[in-house]
Structure 1
Amino acid sequence: MPRQPRSTRPARPPLAARGAPHRVVCLAFPQVMSLDVTGPLQVFATANDLRRSHGLAPRYQLELAGPEAGVVATSAGIGLVATRAWRDVKGGARCTLLVPGGDGIDAALQGGELLAQLRRLAPRAGRVGSVCSGALALGQAGLLDGVLATTHWSRAEQLRQCAPRASVETDRLHTFDAAHPVRSRRFTSAGVTAGIDLALALVEADCGRPLALAVARQLVMFMRRPGGQAQFSPLLAPGPVHAPRLARLLEWIPGQIGAPLTVDRLAEQACLPPRTLARAFRQELGTTPGRYVEQVRLEAASALLGQRQASVATVARLCGFGHPDTLRRSFQRHLAISPRAFSERFGDG
């Protein structure tokens, strides 16, 4: 008899796709940002809905905890109902703790109870993460030592001060890496909607990329942004109130992207010494002059490629990248996609 071909062993599904549901516990506090809570939780809820539509059991059990059980007031003026108090939350390997941000985070940290509960729960939880200024809680609790971290750009300096042993980067949306979920057991995300991108990355790690993309489509998201993408549009840069020393320079840069924009040239335009300019960028925008200029050029290049009226080489020249390879490297680094693929996927027509 001919030998039967050896069967190929099927790939094992992601860990969270097997066994009991994975608990996602959000630790809310008074004056929390409502979208920091509801945005990520809705991603997990939609993943459950899509699984149910295919006859599968939900993968996530969602919980909202507050200082006490009951209504937690948000900064939007609406209330969210916490089903339990922080002290009653239990950890576990199949548990993800999320700390949202918002105007109330400073008062919550001064009270001390949130930090105490984080220190109690973190060793018992499979994953611990934050949205926006919630990273300050993780930092003060000592949970970001030796960890890559980010937060809303306006809170970057505060995070560096409260978590001096963390590697704080503001040119990214979140720090969770779906390719290395075990190494990413402590993670943070930038402001507001970046929490949605973070939640999608968690769903991808837990349940696979197809489900994460299906959730993004269901929520009508423009694209599932990678964690390393920059936080904000340079062409919508903070105005004079938030960046008083840089306001005129930020208005001038977009019209000069085709020209060489060295730090010395920027400093001359801003009437500041180069070191003072660099310090102002870090304090007021959470980035460096060079990275900021690259983001302006990248956004201009994205707009031109989206119109499909110029080649990659022409866009690279017009936007100050010079060579097409430089443009490609910038796209891959910040958007995880090539300029040509970007044009084909997101271009008009």
Structure 2
Amino acid sequence: MPLAASLPPSLFRSYSFLSGFKPKTHTLFPLPCYALECVPSHCLCTRLSLRPFFEHLRHEPLRRTLGVTLSTAAAAGVVSPNPGATVSTMSKKKARRDSPEGILRHQLGLCSKSGDLAQALRLYDEARAAATSLSVHHFNILLYLCSSSADPVGLERGFQIYRQMGLDGVAPNEATFTSVARLAAAKEDPDLAFDLVKQMSSAGIPPKLRSFGPALFGFCKKGDVQKAHEVEAYMASSGIEPDEAELAALLELNVRKGRGEGVYRLLHRMRVTVRRVSGSTAEIIESWFGSEVAEEVGLDKWDVRKVKEEMVKGGGGWHGQGWLGRGRWNVGRTEMDGSGVCQQCGEKLTCIDIDPVETEDFANSLAKLASQREVRADFMRFKVCVYTLLY
């Protein structure tokens, strides 16, 4: 299903700005359906005694047949050879639920759903007084609630709980570090939030996108361009791709600081990653093209042949040569008609190809998917056919 990839506003000067935002085609591959086989009902009665059932069977051949069937099912693992083991497992689960640790976990879960930090802290204090052992799950719920609080007392209690977690020897996980990073961001300390992400990586815990948010948004809010881009670089080295929210924060920071090269780079990164931006992001882009700084950035002279060559290499949608020309941008909001013609400038959107990097990724992904479905040794030749079709 082809998806249009354009910005809400039409942005243009002496050449088409929208040409840099190219459409993307998503292809839906048929996925295999797996049939679920129902287990015979008599095979599920693992906890019932079958002795009275056999005693009331008067038909000898039928009794033998059922006996062989059930014995075969038990050997295959369908019927548990030891019904007492199931009872024992259920008893252990019930004992864990009814233990002080299990009850505390349940009560903290209710506090998390309702956002009741005060009750969660009371439960924590009572558990400490009763010498109840707390797991990483208990601590994570408490830290999450503290990091979601706007109360300075709640934030301070969060750091106290985190320190106590270390004293108790409870190993933190990704959720722990992320919650403490949010605590640091709430205290307007993005340096600490970034340091916690580094500690996470040093401990062998892969960070997630949410782990970088407190540090990145904190530096953007403070206007620290250098450290914000350090976080962006660390994300890339960790194999984490930013979403629109992260890219929009970086873009707004560069627009605010009047950094034309940074805006250019982030717009192209957003073109590849986001494709279709939200209204709030479009407003940031509009503010850039309506600024005086945007009028001054750009080359007075450029190599036309080089620009055309790079556009062909890039699939026809962009050249990557930076801002070309200077002057005031005409920014307006408009609509496209059914044939893709802009109602303000009269230019028509053109269909552009995916760039070479995307072509390589698409071919590799398609060949991998196909090779998983087909195990013949010569099937990797399929990749060559893909390249032939794409090029």
Please state which structure has a larger fraction of its residues in helix: 2
**TM-score > 0.5, shorter chain as reference:** no
Please state which structure has a larger fraction of its residues in strand: 1
- Bigger relative CO (Cα 8 Å, ≥ 6 apart): 2
* Bigger CA radius of gyration: 2
- TM-score with structure 2 length normalisation? 0.29
- TM-score with structure 1 length normalisation? 0.31
